[in-house]
Amino acid sequence: MNQKIVLIGAGSAAFGPPTLTDLYLSKDLEGSRIIFHDIDEEKLNMVYEVITKENERLGNKYIIEKTLDRKVALQDADFVICSIEHGDRFELRWQDNTIPRRYGTTEMMGENGGPGGFFHSARQIPEILRIAEDVNNICPEAFFINYSNPMSRICLALHRVYPNLKMFGLCHQIELLTNQHLPNMLNKELSDLELVVGGLNHFAFLLGLKEVSTGKDILPEFHKKCFDYFEGKWDRFHYADLTFEVYKRFNMFPYVGDNHLCEYVQFGSEFTKVIDLVDWITMMEQGKIGTNKRLERYYKRLLKEKYPRKGLLSAQPSGERAIAIIEAIVKDKNSYEYAVNIPNDGIIENLPNDLVVECSARVNKQGLRGVKLGKLPKDLAVLLGREAAIQDLCIEAILKESKELAINCLAMDVNCGSFKIAEKVFDEMMALQKKYLPNFR
């Protein structure tokens, strides 16, 4: 199947090889052209050389190309997968995570929400909109798949500025629940479970659960077993005090984990600990360093003509869903995805219609069609609606490069609540990150 798939940000050791792992396990996409694009020539060349060797090792299933020129990369593209980070991911993330708290916010992890999430958004959104502009002009029929964070805010900005862009966002957070816990708790194969989820990325809930073979609603069984099942399995990085407090209060299971949920709720600091979030980010940073070093080792051995016979790519799927969804679109499979990020468009009736929501979806040649959820319970809709309003204002501040709106957005965030604090945070972050941020004025 001759498709052209463009990987933007392909110089990332954590993005390029896993995507290629899934491609090499695909039967439907063999023969396609895979274009690697990045602005970092050294990293791009390293990934390209290693993957070209992997392609040879595995029978030259794909045509592998590279380019530093984005406009060249996008010519006649069918699918564009974007996973970029503007600036050093962890250097800036530590600033996002610590500076707002230094001034008195209750922010616990500033990746996608809270004051830190605002600055992450402000760095990422203008860069990704420039990519989307090229897609819109050069290959407007291509599907644009976003992996970059802050997922909800980036996708919302894309939808606002380029409403005709065939865009969706993907996140693997649902795997916290699906890969081990659900099959073990319910003593059923994952393939026999159909989940219905809803909410926002990193702030979403299990709303429905069906046994595929019988059509039986087994969400009541989940609710009956959940607390007993997780007794003794609490994980400070994932399912722990905050998850189960929210589950108890709202009667819907938040499958995203404490370390993400705490970004969006003002009571997050009551149930999570700063040291746990520091340890989590440290672990993610060390993981990135390890992944990069592994790729470098393979590259050095390639240059010495001593490339490992076993190769770099895994024999198991990466867990990411981009390639499976591309297959479903190309082959018109009408497959089912547990969790995708797409414009609301009536999926959740009591949240803003142009919000980007995380939901379950069917996938065919037309793209992704979200499972309609109707109205959420009022309390849950209010919980999500507050973050939706902040996202709306965040996007407006960034698009207009408005300092006034930016400070108002920071002050009204549930993890801040103070104009005085917001102004101090804004001033320091602008001083530290100015070259990555819009010209707020």
Pairwise CA distance, residues 81 & 324, whole Å = 13
Task: Render pLDDT for 68-118 as a digit per residue (tens, 0 to 9).
Answer: 999 999 999 999 999 999 999 999 999 999 999 999 999 999 999 999 999
Confidence tier at 323 by pLDDT (50, 70, 90): very high
pLDDT band at 206 (very low <50, low <70, confident <90, very high): very high
Is 372:345 a contact under the CB 8 Å cutoff?
no
Residue whose structure tokens are 């396609």 = 32
pLDDT grade, residue 11 (50/70/90)?
confident
pLDDT at position 14, please?
A: 74
User: Helices in 59-113 by DSSP H: which ranges?
Assistant: 70-74, 89-102
Distance in angstroms (rounded) separating the CA atoms of residues 73 and 281: 33
- CB atoms near residue 378 (< 10 Å): 10
State the Cα–Cα distance between residues 281 and 271, nearest whole angstrom: 18
pLDDT band at 18 (very low <50, low <70, confident <90, very high): confident
347 vs 162, 176, 369, 374, 384, CA distance in Å?
Answer: 20, 24, 9, 6, 14
The predicted structure's pLDDT at residue 1: 63
- State mean pLDDT over 397-401: 98
pTM: 0.96
- Tell me which of 172, 181, 202, 223 is the catalytic residue: 172
pLDDT score recorded for residue 12: 83
Using an 8 Å Cβ cutoff, are 263 and 114 in contact? Answer: yes
Mean pLDDT of 221-240: 95
Torsion of the alpha carbons at 63, 66, 71 and 72, rounded to the nearest 10: -60
Contacts of 39 (CB under 8 A, 6+ apart): 11, 68
Average pLDDT for residues 286-302, to the nearest whole number? Answer: 94
> Is 202 designated active site?
no
Does pLDDT of 234 surpass 80? yes
